[in-house]
């Protein structure tokens, strides 16, 4: 590891007696795709929740390094500040703004980027605010076109298939131009053919955005196929970190998946 964009150091979180995260520590290399695997209850989503600010860990830190070398600690920041630091995430259940058409969702998520659109400027429709609106609309259309959903722009999430929702989500995180993209099970609930198409799409997205991707995924062919590095977790702790083929053979990983001590 030479240039980690994200360094997670000793993240721990307990829910009562359950240790959801137990001293989780690993680095994410800039420009890489890192897959996080592990059985249900391994603490994968909890880790994302800590990184995006939904949960506050009991201990530990997460440091984001910008390209210029500046370091920012993430955990101490408020949830909504993390987006501006270049960290964006998707949700396991493709959580979006449910009552809003997807075209508008893609404009909504660009909220913070609209520096010339304060309350009064928006209400009065100043040139700056109108410019912001036009720019935001343009980028929203672009992102929607990128995932091939332009014709569905007026539909709310409830009218789209799961696969389309996943794509909308990817469009939403990409439109805010993040540096670190946290994807929580992007393939869950979608058809096999779509899953197979997802790998190349994620790769393309990462290159297009020049972003680092961390993804939680249960679909082994997908995650093993596109990841540069795999982090295997079990019972809140990191079991091993390594290249996909190494992790696949790791006895502890086999044990946590198959529940047997005979490796």
Contact footprint for other proteins (CB under 8 A): 15-16, 18, 20, 40-46, 52-54, 78-84, 88-89, 91-100, 104, 107-109, 111-112, 114, 117, 119, 122-125, 129, 132-133, 136, 156-158, 162, 165, 172, 176, 185, 188-189
DSSP summary character for residue 99 = T
Q: Looking at beta carbons only, is 79 or 200 nearer to other proteins?
A: 79
Q: Looking at beta carbons only, is 159 or 252 nearer to other proteins?
A: 159
| Sheet with 33-37, edge to edge strand ranges | 87-89, 180-184, 212-216, 33-37, 229-234, 237-242
Alpha-carbon torsion 147, 151, 157, 161, what sign?
Answer: negative
Q: Looking at beta carbons only, is 35 or 53 nearer to other proteins?
A: 53
Q: Looking at beta carbons only, is 30 or 107 nearer to other proteins?
A: 107
Q: How far is the CB of 263 from other proteins (least distance, A)?
A: 24
Q: Looking at beta carbons only, is 52 or 212 nearer to other proteins?
A: 52
CA 146 to chain centre: 18
* Residue 206 parent element (H or E): helix 192-209
**Residues 126, 151 contacting (CB under 8 angstroms):** no
Q: Looking at beta carbons only, is 123 or 145 nearer to other proteins?
A: 123
Q: How far is the CB of 144 from other proteins (least distance, A)?
A: 16
Q: How far is the CB of 256 from other proteins (least distance, A)?
A: 14
Q: How far is the CB of 156 from other proteins (least distance, A)?
A: 8
Pairwise CA distance, residues 204 & 63, whole Å: 26
Q: How far is the CB of 27 from other proteins (least distance, A)?
A: 23
Q: How far is the CB of 230 from other proteins (least distance, A)?
A: 19
Q: How far is the CB of 208 from other proteins (least distance, A)?
A: 19
Dihedral in degrees, nearest 10, Cα atoms 55, 56, 58, 59:
120
Residues with Cβ within 8 Å of 34's Cβ and at least 6 positions away in sequence, in order, are 28, 212, 213, 214, 215, 227, 228, 229, 230, 231
Q: Which residues of 195-217 are buried (b: 16+ CB within 10 A; e: fewer)?
A: beebbebbeebbeebebbbbbbb
Q: Please, where are the H alpha helices in 44-126? A: 44-52, 102-108, 119-124
Q: Looking at beta carbons only, is 217 or 244 nearer to other proteins?
A: 217
């Amino acid at each position: 590891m030479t240039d980690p964009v994200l360094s997670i150091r000793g993240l721990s979180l307990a829910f009562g007696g359950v240790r959801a995260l137990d001293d989780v520590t690993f680095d994410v290399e800039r420009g890489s795709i890192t897959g996080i695997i592990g059985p249900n209850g391994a603490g994968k989503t909890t880790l994302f929740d800590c990184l995006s600010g939904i949960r506050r860990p009991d201990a530990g830190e997460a440091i984001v390094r910008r390209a210029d070398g500046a370091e920012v600690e993430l955990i101490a920041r408020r949830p909504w500040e993390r987006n501006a630091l270049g960290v964006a995430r998707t949700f396991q259940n493709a959580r979006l703004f449910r009552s809003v058409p997807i075209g508008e969702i893609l404009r909504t998520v660009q909220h913070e980027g609209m520096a010339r659109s304060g309350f009064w400027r928006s209400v009065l429709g100043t040139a700056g605010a109108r410019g912001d609106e036009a720019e935001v609309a343009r980028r929203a259309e672009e992102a929607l076109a990128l995932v091939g959903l332009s014709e569905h722009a007026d539909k709310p999430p409830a009218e789209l298939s799961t696969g389309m929702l996943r794509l909308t989500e990817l469009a939403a995180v990409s439109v805010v131009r993040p540096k670190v993209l946290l994807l929580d099970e992007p393939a869950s609930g979608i058809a096999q053919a779509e899953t197979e198409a997802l790998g190349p799409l994620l790769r393309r997205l990462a290159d297009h955005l020049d972003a680092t991707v961390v993804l939680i995924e249960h679909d082994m062919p997908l995650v093993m196929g596109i990841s540069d590095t795999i982090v295997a977790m079990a019972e809140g702790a990191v079991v091993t970190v390594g290249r996909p083929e190494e992790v696949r053979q790791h006895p502890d990983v086999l044990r946590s998946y198959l529940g047997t001590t005979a490796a």
